[in-house]
Structure 1
Amino acid sequence: MSDMRLIVAGAGGRMGRVLVRTIAQAKGAVLTGALEAPTSPLLGQDSGVLAGLPANGVALSADLWELAKNADGVIDFTVPAATIANVAIAAQRRLVHVIGTTGLSESDQAVIRSVTAQATVVQSGNMSLGVNLLAALVKRVAKSLDEDFDIEVLEMHHKMKIDAPSGTALMLGQAAADGRGVELGQRAVRSRDGYTGERRNGDIGFATLRGGTVVGDHTVIFAGADERIELSHKAGDRALFANGAVKAALWARDKKPGFYTMMDVLGLSDF
């Protein structure tokens, strides 16, 4: 089979540049397009040079419809508005759409789900192998422990991150809720300030830290009487997310239209 032709959305950003470097080294994949916002001052620049590589002849463009004519998939770590704008085009062009964008609303998620009858979408709050293994473990532990164990999700990211809690934190919270058999939206506590009263049994709490250049630290705490279980993952380089995203794109290439997650890619959906 020929190499999978991939477009990187947000190719001028931090994650986009890492993806360009990752695809350049990946077996079975080749960069065929580099997408940026229409207002970006980087439009027209060579994506390889921006990523610290030799020139690759793939210039940054704002026209996904045109880029998609010669592509098999798009990897999208951008912002919600850009991702939702890309969803319809990717579906119409029958591109595999790998979505790592965080901060998506419920209505955004509904838009993404609406195209999966005709499009192949792989979405995850985190594309790393380790984090998805962590989520599987969190689900299993939450299922094993009753509400005598309080669940708290702690995350820290670099000071430039614009959404909170992180997509990974929410993914871990969802794993805990799935293990408990409850709706996360009804049990999540995303902030505490002032006189809050006692913690309610069964709540799933979130705490957010921002500072420095932290790529991503996540810990899920199960706190019981006189004992505490902590499951953690610490990311040291964005390349691990890029590697996972490329793996997801290659995995999805021959899959039927539908909605998939990294749990499917890694064979962890039934863990």
Structure 2
Amino acid sequence: MKPKLVVTGAAGRMGKRVLNAAVESGEFEIAAATEADGNPTLGKDAGLTAGIGELGVPITTEGPADADVVIDFSLPQATDKVIDYCVQNNVALILATTGLSDEQLKKVDEVSAKIPIIQQTNMSVGMNTLFAVVGKVANMLGEEYDIEITEAHHRFKRDAPSGSAMTLAENVAKETGRDFPDCLVHGRYGKEAVREKGTIGMHAIRGGDITGEHSVIYSSLGETITISHSAHNRDNFARGSVRAAKWLAGKPAGRYSMADALGIK
């Protein structure tokens, strides 16, 4: 029997791509597609809204009680409602919404005792591979290499730096013994902006329709190594989340990672 999937934010840019990827995979029964109260797509067929043909699933404000897994790419304002729904109905959760507050992240930790959950700042297979290696590279290179992180996204992205850039920095900090997030320097400005040893520079670019670009720069007095990832479109995030949802459905309660779902060590 196929797991029953709920896609939240189903009329949004990512929600549409998740629906497409889930239907394309053939691995799920689409149990519901949800949107916020007042959304103009409520009542419309989710497949037609996503441009993938009629699914027979109207966009609603609530998911069913018998779903198996939720993929959430909506907004932080909706996160608490999504989490509460999953806890009340014992539904696994792929939480891909970025810009969560400290209180919401704490709530994720707490509810992982009740439901299986993956909360990740980036769902692509490539980015999660990058997450796994950036700290190891920094550790191998040593203290003489300055580390800078740049990220670029479309003009509509609300949070900055991106959640993925923060995860890259956090993984570097963990591996090299830096105090995160105090080690971060967000951009530079002024006549006395000389780089301080041990810091990690963080730079956010917003423009046009850039899907997502991240680079980690390691530079010494003689050479520079750059590890980067470019997202060509949103489908890689959608496909990664669908792959993770298939893996997570039916798992016991716990806090899991995309590395777990993808088998990245």
TM-score by length of 2: 0.96
Aligned to 2:229: 233
**Does 2:17 match 1:18?**
yes
CA drift of 1:196 comes to 4.5
Among all aligned residue pairs of Structure 1 and Structure 2, give the percentage whose two residues are the same amino acid.
38
List structure 1 runs of 4+ shifted beyond 4 angstroms: none
Tell me the distance in 1 between the aligned counterparts of 2:106 and 2:77.
14
Tell me the distance in 2 between the aligned counterparts of 1:9 and 1:50.
13
Aligned to 2:56: 57
Paired residues of 2:151 and 2:213 also in contact (CA < 8 A):
yes
Quick one: structure 1 residues 85 and 144, their matched pair in 2 at CA, closer, same or farther if it must change by over 3 Å? same
CA drift of 1:42 comes to 1.3
Aligned to 1:164: 160
Tell me the distance in 2 between the aligned counterparts of 1:84 and 1:203.
34
Aligned to 1:27: 26
Tell me the distance in 2 between the aligned counterparts of 1:56 and 1:44.
13
Q: Residues 68-83 of structure 1: matches in 2 within 5 Å?
A: 68-83=64-79
Amino acid at match of 1:27: G
Gaps of 5+ in 1: none
Of 141, 145, 149, the match for 1:145: 141
Aligned to 2:216: 220
Paired residues of 1:150 and 1:222 also in contact (CA < 8 A):
yes
Amino acid at match of 1:189: V
Paired residues of 1:97 and 1:122 also in contact (CA < 8 A):
yes
Number of matched pairs: 265
Tell me the distance in 1 between the aligned counterparts of 2:78 and 2:179.
28
Amino acid at match of 2:236: L
Amino acid at match of 1:13: G
Amino acid at match of 2:14: M
**Does 2:42 match 1:43?**
yes
Q: Secondary structure at the match of 2:181?
A: helix
TM-score by length of 1: 0.94
Paired residues of 1:68 and 1:90 also in contact (CA < 8 A):
no
Of 174, 194, 197, the match for 1:178: 174
**Does 2:251 match 1:255?**
yes
Tell me the distance in 2 between the aligned counterparts of 1:183 and 1:100.
25
Q: Secondary structure at the match of 1:143?
A: helix
Q: Secondary structure at the match of 2:251?
A: coil
Gaps of 5+ in 2: none
Q: Secondary structure at the match of 2:41?
A: coil
Paired residues of 1:68 and 1:95 also in contact (CA < 8 A):
no
Q: Secondary structure at the match of 1:189?
A: strand
